[in-house]
Amino acid sequence: MLKADPRLAAVEIAGPGFINLKVADAALSERANAVAADPRAGADLVPEPRRVLVDYGGPNVAKPMHVGHLRSSIIGESLKRLYRFRGDIVVGDAHFGDWGYQMGLLIGAVCDEHPAIAAEVARLNAATDLPSDWQALEPRPFEIIELSDLDRLYPLAAARGKAEPEYRDRARKLTAELQAKAPGPICSGSASPASPRWRSSETSMRWASTSTSGRARATSIP
């Protein structure tokens, strides 16, 4: 029956359970011409539009991105466009997962390794006579943190978070205080005796990374 089909140029049995079918050149040409002549390239609209959610992406915001992260983004975007082309209602979501916990881990790790940073930012917070251009003053001890330091600290902090419940709980507390917009980065419940408990008193502060210098710094927010 298959051998008599004009769309097939050859039908062969290739061992137990395997059949090779070779499509005829004429059939391929006919289909290619039909697709080329169709403004929708042969893709009909679905009878009933569906609501489709495509969840893709999801890099770890505490770690450097690399070319491998483009794979899921490109695949997700392609699927999103295909569904929309067929007439579906599509929502794309580049989900970053538990991004806050990573920030809590980093803040805690920085406070443990550089307790002077917490003390200096606390002093600036409490000061009432700082000039408007105080961020340009020297020395600026809180700028000793490079992005390379964050890259180094995060894997160590993540490993401790998995192995030490108290360390993990502190990171979660830091995350909660950060998301609740508590005044300043708060090095509280420290897992290290060298890290003091501190809290900014008047001015809210945040950590921000500068793309020009590649450093982490404290920036004032009204």
Burial class (CB within 10 angstroms; exposed 0-12, middle 13-18, buried 19+) of 161: buried
Q: What is the mean pLDDT of residues 66-88?
A: 90
* Residue 14 pLDDT: 87
Does 189 have pLDDT greater than 50?
A: no
Rounded to an integer, what distance in angstroms lies between the CA atom of residue 31 and that of residue 181? Answer: 60
With a pLDDT cut of 70, the percent of the chain lying above it is 69
pTM comes to 0.49
Residue 23: alpha-carbon gap to chain centroid? 44
